[in-house]
Each structure stands twice: as C-alpha cells, then as structure tokens.
C-alpha cells in the first residue's frame, strides 16, 4: 500500500503549494472533473490495494469518471477533496444509486436518473435529466469508454439570433442549491483535506457545455463548429451572452460565499480550452477582447471578497495565452499539457512559476502513463516534480484525467514516485 500522509496534513499541503511555499507536494485525484480517473482505473486500484470489492460509482458520467471512496483516498494519500455542482453534465443529481451493466460487462453504480438505451450496433445513448421521452444528448460508441455529445441544434436564422437562447442554463442559484453547497463544502472540509469547488456558471464558452447535454431542448447556437465561427463573425452576440452570464455569476458567487465562507481553498472557474495539440482555437487578441474582460471581473470579485484561489483549465498549446490569463487574475493553471507544442515544463516554470500555480503536468496521459513502463513513469514523474515543484507552486496531478485501459502498474508507479519525491521533505 502506498505511503499515506497524515489525514490532517492535506489542507496544509495544498495551502503551502498555493502560496508557493516549498515542501511536500499535495496530490489531487477526484477533486474536479478534469483531475480524476476513469471508472475502470478506480476499480483496478481497489483490487490492487486489496480494498473491499464493490461496484464503483460513476460520479461524472460524461467522462465516466469513478468516485474515489475514502478507503482508496487513504491508500493513495490524496490531499484534496472536491465539491461538484449539484447536477451532472446530463442535468441529473447523483442520488439513489443503482447498478448498471456497462458495455464492457462491468457492473457499476450510477444515479437513479442515469437512463440509457442501446441500438443494434451496440451504441449506448444517455438522456438529459434522465428523460427517455426526449432525444438523447450523448452517445457512447460500442467500443467506447465515455460519452460523446450529440449535437441537437435546431435550425437558426443568423440574422435573428437571440442571445437569450444561449442563456437558458444560467439561472440565479436557489435555496436548495445553496443548502447543497453548504453541506458539501462542510463535508469536504471535515476530511482535513484541501477543498476545491466547482460552483458552476462561470465557464465562458466552454465547448463541452455549449451543446448543453443537460437541457432537453436546447435553443440557440449549440453546434460546436457553429459556436467557434460565431465567436469570430458575431462577437457582439457572444459579448451579450458573456456579459449577462458574468453578471449572474457574480450575484450567485456572492450568495454562495455567504453560505460556505472560506472553507474552500480553490474554485474551478472555467474549463474553456484555447489550445490544440500544436496550435490554438483563437488568437491572443480575441482572447483579450472577447474573454478577458469577464474573466477579470469574476477574478477581481473573488480576490476582493474571498480567500479562494481561482483555477483555470485549458488543454493544449497555450503558452501564448498565459500572460493574458495571469492578467485576467487566474491563480492556477491546469492541466499543464507539457506534451503540446511550446509547453516545455522548464520554460513554463522559469517564466511563470513564481506567479502561477501549476495543477497537473506531472505525467503524460497520452503516451507515458498508458503506454510506458513503470520505470519510465517513475522517471518522468520524478523529473516533472523536480522541475514544476521547485520553490513551491505545484499540485500533483496527471495531465488531465487518467484514461480507461491505463495499466494499474503504471498508475501505482506514478503514486509511488510522488511519495518517493515527498520523502525528501
């Protein structure tokens, strides 16, 4: 079993990292929807550590991420506890768990409202809010391991676009959700770990959210390609959406902070990707003009009124955007995709590491972790920890979620390499 830091050290480790203090690195797996593990990997780790045999909960069904229960968190030595929104990407809550047989034959636990159908080709379809009477919003291919969004955009007239159609999902936080966050944050803080929360509503143009897999009949611009084009051709339309979304987000954050206080250490604000493997989805000029004004308002409010640090997720080759992201007020960058062009970890640390916390980047999930040897995994982890962890400012995580079919020996090698590194402190 992997070495386990004392249970009460988690929040201290995280706060030290967020404050750029040198020391042992905090580990996050399961804290967010971009720092987790596929359900099959969670099941394999439970077997490896000899934990109670039980079906794993699918707590993030879009990517089929598995819930890491307390016994496995202690076995791994996890330092971060996550607070998720009250509803999943498909618009239903995780409650009243039931068994579900996945296409690969494994038995999993899913929400009562996780409802699927299948076709003759073996594809699996899932429905928004668990409503089988409406068209499905995502499909898992017969040989797939997670769901892909189904585009359900209705015909549009570009001369008569109504921004309100793309604002349907943004609503004032209600008392029930405030009560949910109050209880969820208190429960997370009681573990002694650091707390990262996703309160929702602050993701500007996140391409995973634009198609609205959680809405039964989404209106407006919901096609991914169409959205990218509209951000170029009709920026006035996008500004209208972002301005209203931002104003509502600030109102909601104020009410949420009153409910949960500063028990939260970091808040997940936005998962909009700006980089591809070798290029970018937009220019830096577009980022500064279209996104940055609203990022600044949200970050400024949080830094003025709370003790929360702010977390920005963006995959790909994004070095060109990092100065503007820091000017926007973000404290944390994830997933630090060192495998993308112009994302050399030594350059990133030397250039930005004194002002930006790196949350991730510690092992490549495209090649090294799934296809390397345990020795190669150990070598890469130790080297990345040395580079990105120098003088503090690193939260240990892989580059995005650990994918299905990753060898459990490699995952264990990754965990053990972190503990080996941390023994120096």
Q: What is the mean pLDDT of residues 331-338?
A: 98
Evaluate if residue 7 carries a pLDDT over 60.
no
Evaluate if residue 112 carries a pLDDT over 80.
yes
Q: What's the total number of domains in the chain?
A: 1
**Cβ neighbours of residue 413 under 8 Å, at least 6 residues apart?**
374, 375, 377, 378, 381
For the chain, the distance separating the N- and C-terminal CA atoms, rounded to the nearest angstrom, is 20
pLDDT band with cut points at 50, 70 and 90 for residue 59: very high
> What is 38-66 written as a DSSP string?
BHHHHHHHHHHTTPPP-PPBEEETTTTEE
Please give the helix or strand (H or E) that residue 413 lies within, else none.
helix 408-422
The CATH code of the domain that includes 246 is 3.20.20.210
Task: Specify if 11 maps to a domain.
Answer: yes
Compute CA 208 distance to the chain's CA centroid, rounded to the nearest angstrom.
11
DSSP state of 260: H
Task: Specify if 133 maps to a domain.
Answer: no
pLDDT band with cut points at 50, 70 and 90 for residue 150: very high
Q: Mind listing the pLDDT tens digit for each residue in 165-201?
A: 999 999 999 999 999 999 999 999 999 999 999 999 9
Task: Specify if 21 maps to a domain.
Answer: yes
Taking CA atoms, 143 is separated from 82, 103, 198, 416, in Å, by 30, 8, 31, 31
pLDDT at residue 159, as a whole number: 86
**Distance (Å, whole) CA 213 – CA 338:** 30
Which class for 117: exposed (0-12), middle (13-18), buried (19 or more C-beta within 10 A)? Answer: exposed
The strand pairing partners of 65, in sequence order, are: 38, 60
Task: Specify if 235 maps to a domain.
Answer: yes
Full-prediction pTM beyond 0.85? yes
Q: Are 339 and 346 in contact (CB under 8 A)?
A: no
**Distance (Å, whole) CA 362 – CA 377:** 10
Task: Specify if 117 maps to a domain.
Answer: no
pLDDT band with cut points at 50, 70 and 90 for residue 9: confident
Taking CA atoms, 284 is separated from 275, 288, 324, 325, 392, in Å, by 11, 6, 8, 10, 28
In a 3-state reduction of DSSP, which class is residue 18? helix
Task: Specify if 138 maps to a domain.
Answer: no
Taking CA atoms, 354 is separated from 75, 220, 331, 394, in Å, by 32, 42, 11, 11
* Structure tokens belonging to residue 209: 């959210």
Q: Mind listing the pLDDT tens digit for each residue in 243-292?
A: 999 999 999 999 999 999 999 999 999 999 999 999 999 999 999 999 99
Query: Of 268, 192, 230, 239, which is closest to residue 14 (Cα–Cα)?
Result: 192
* Structure tokens belonging to residue 383: 């080297």
Evaluate if residue 229 carries a pLDDT over 50.
yes
Q: List b or e across 147-172, with b for residues whose CB sees 16 or more CB atoms inside 10 angstroms.
A: bebeebbeebeeeebebeebbeebee
Task: Specify if 106 maps to a domain.
Answer: no
pLDDT at residue 4, as a whole number: 42
Portion of the chain with pLDDT greater than 90, in percent: 97
pLDDT at residue 397, as a whole number: 98
Tell me which residue range forms the domain holding 245. Answer: 7-37+78-86+152-422
Evaluate if residue 8 carries a pLDDT over 80.
no
Contacts for 298-303: CB closer than 8 Å, 24+ residues apart: 298/202, 298/246, 298/249, 298/250, 298/253, 298/269, 298/329, 299/269, 299/328, 299/329, 299/330, 300/329, 301/250, 301/253, 301/254, 302/253, 302/267, 302/329, 303/329
Task: Specify if 141 maps to a domain.
Answer: no
Q: Are 53 and 160 in contact (CB under 8 A)?
A: no
Q: Are 56 and 108 in contact (CB under 8 A)?
A: yes
Evaluate if residue 1 carries a pLDDT over 80.
no
What rounded mean pLDDT belongs to the chain? 96
pLDDT at residue 126, as a whole number: 98
* Structure tokens belonging to residue 121: 């080709």
């Amino acid at each position: 079993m992997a070495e386990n830091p004392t249970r009460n050290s988690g929040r201290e480790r995280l706060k030290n990292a967020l404050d750029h203090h040198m020391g042992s690195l905090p580990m996050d797996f399961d804290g967010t929807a971009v720092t987790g593990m596929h359900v099959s990997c969670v099941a394999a780790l439970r077997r490896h550590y000899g934990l109670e045999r039980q079906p794993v909960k699918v707590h993030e069904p879009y990517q089929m991420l598995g819930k890491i229960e307390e016994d496995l968190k202690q076995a791994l030595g996890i330092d971060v506890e996550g607070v998720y929104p009250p509803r999943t990407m498909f618009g239903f809550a995780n409650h009243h768990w039931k068994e579900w047989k996945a296409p690969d034959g494994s038995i999993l636990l899913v929400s009562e409202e996780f409802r699927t159908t299948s076709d003759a080709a073996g594809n699996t379809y899932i429905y928004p809010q668990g409503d089988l009477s409406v068209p499905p919003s995502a499909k898992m291919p017969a040989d797939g391991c997670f769901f892909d969004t189904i585009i359900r955009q209705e015909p549009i007239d570009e001369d008569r676009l109504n921004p309100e159609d793309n604002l349907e999902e943004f609503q004032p936080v209600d008392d029930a959700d405030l009560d949910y966050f109050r209880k969820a944050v208190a429960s997370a803080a009681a573990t002694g770990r650091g707390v990262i929360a996703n309160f929702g509503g602050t993701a500007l143009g996140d391409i995973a959210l634009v198609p609205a897999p959680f809405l039964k009949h989404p209106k407006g611009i919901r096609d991914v390609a169409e959205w990218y084009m509209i951000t170029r051709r009709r920026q006035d339309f996008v500004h209208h959406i972002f301005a209203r979304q931002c104003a509502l987000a600030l109102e909601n954050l104020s009410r949420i902070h009153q409910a949960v206080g500063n028990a939260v250490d970091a808040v997940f604000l936005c998962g909009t990707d700006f980089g591809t493997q070798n290029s970018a989805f937009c220019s830096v000029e577009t980022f500064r003009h279209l996104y940055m004004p609203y990022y600044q308002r949200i970050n400024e409010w949080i830094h003025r009124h709370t003790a929360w640090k702010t977390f920005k997720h963006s995959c790909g080759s994004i070095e060109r955007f990092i100065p503007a992201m820091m000017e926007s007020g973000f404290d944390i960058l994830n997933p630090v995709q060192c495998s993308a062009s112009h994302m050399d970890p030594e350059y990133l640390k030397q250039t930005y590491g004194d002002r930006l916390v790196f949350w991730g980047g510690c092992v490549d999930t495209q090649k090294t972790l799934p296809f390397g040897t345990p020795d190669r995994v150990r070598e890469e982890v130790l080297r990345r920890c040395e580079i990105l962890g120098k003088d503090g400012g690193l939260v240990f995580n892989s580059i995005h979620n650990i994918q299905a079919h990753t060898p459990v020996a490699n995952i264990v090698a990754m965990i053990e390499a972190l503990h080996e590194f941390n023994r120096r402190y």
